[in-house]
Amino acid sequence: MNHGIVSLVPVALTLSLTFYSRNVILALLAGVCAGGVLLDVAQGTLFTGINSIAAVFASGWAAKAILFVLLTGSLVHVIEQSGGVNGFVRLLTEKRRAVKSVLGAEVLAYLLGIVLFVDTTSSIVIRGVSTKPFFDTYDGPREKLSYIIDSTSAPVAFLSPATSAGAFLAALIGVQVSSGVISGDPFSFVLKALPFQIYSIISVIIVGVTIFRRKAVTSPGSGPFKTESDRHPESFHGAIEPKAVNMMLPMGIFITGTFGLMVLTGDGSTAIFTGILLTLLATGVLYKAQGIADTQGYINWCIQGMASYLEVALILTLSFALSDLLNRLGTGAYLAGFGHHVQPALVPAMVFLSGALISFMSGTGGGTLSILVPISIPLAVAMDVNVPLVLGACGSGAVFGDHCSPISDTTILTAKVAEVDVMDHVRHQLPYALTGGIISTLMFLVLGRVF
């Protein structure tokens, strides 16, 4: 049922509160409540909004997506606690002596960003801690380090489907599948959208070009390191010996297991959930065999990792509820009614720019997707626009705006880890981000006509 212009109220309220409060959870909750009240008034029911939140867990794909996000937190945490990350970094630095110059430090930060694709936050922290000493010893600019880290975190996550970002997007797509807007496996849409994650692809390429295009940028980093403790943070020196195998083996099991199950079952959503669950079980056996952790200690690590991802899980739950309510209100169909004023070929570029604006103003890529996807997919279907292309535009816009925003959590975290001023980081990254954004806009205009 199409409720007309009234169906835009939850979206407008969510966007307004996101911009004003910078609190995505509050904004999404307000949007869910508003959508629920509108349906209550129209249908003569009560508590539709609250019930929509509880109904999320009645859906198998949604429950699996939320559990996957929580289990991702567990996997990241146990690998870090086992010394696997530190062992991997040490393998590339001390044992292989791969870093002998600023160029080597930049390449290391770049390659680690490709390898540490499962989680954006841990990728930023791990690379900042492990590569910053090398930038200092070779007088490399910290602003360059922060740029490399930021521009190969979220973009790489969006280009690697077996990640929390991929699960998040698949879950949002799942709402549209369950509502009958589109049909098929949600994860298959994520895979089809990968070639259209234009900004992420361009961002990773631009970083590579800037690394090998040597030129003076900002002032050098603050002081060389002279001692072993400077070279490696305290986390490298604990009761647990750092071993690269404690990271490489779990990651190998996860990647091969997930894609193997995907080929075997054809169900992407189930494959990534089962893959990470089996990986955690195998990793627990590996760590216990090494004497790193007993059963209860390993379970505690898993729980601690889950706790760090509760906020993401809550955002995901509210996003599902809001998506379902917007479909029931007919928000996407109403917006599609204005399609005769817009050429279908322009839709991908418009979605990209809209996502960039929302992400820039709110400082959150995930929150942007939770708002944009429920509107964009019905719009694409109504106007007969390629759905994977529009999904790529959603992801690209979310990452682009996030890169330009000084209030983005990844921007602030990256600056903090690299020990540079937030605005210095933004100013250094902005020209590259804008270049990628302009190229992406042009490409979406072209792809909108081709597809």
Indicate yes or no: pTM above 0.75.
no
Along the 451 residues of the chain, how does pLDDT read in single tens digits? 567 788 889 888 987 887 788 787 888 899 999 999 999 998 888 899 999 999 988 877 778 878 887 888 898 889 889 988 778 777 766 665 667 788 888 998 998 888 877 667 667 877 876 787 778 777 888 999 999 999 999 999 899 877 778 878 888 898 899 888 999 988 899 999 999 999 999 999 999 999 987 554 433 333 333 333 333 333 334 468 888 899 889 888 887 887 788 778 777 667 778 888 999 999 999 999 999 999 999 999 999 999 988 887 888 788 778 878 887 888 766 766 665 578 899 999 999 999 998 888 766 787 788 888 988 998 899 889 999 999 999 999 999 998 988 877 788 778 877 878 888 898 999 999 999 999 999 999 999 999 8
Q: How many residues does the chain have?
A: 451
> Considering only CA atoms, which of 201, 211, 233, 198 is closest in space to residue 110?
211
Helix, coil or strand: residue 231 = helix
Read off the pLDDT of residues 96-119 as tens digits, 9 standing for 90 and up: 566 778 888 899 899 888 887 766
Helix, strand and coil in the chain, % to nearest 5: 80, 0, 20
What are 275-282's contacts with CB under 8 Å, separation 24+?
275/162, 276/68, 276/71, 276/72, 276/75, 277/71, 278/253, 279/75, 279/250, 279/253, 279/254, 280/71, 280/74, 280/75, 280/78, 282/250, 282/253
> Considering only CA atoms, which of 40, 41, 16 is closest in space to residue 26?
16
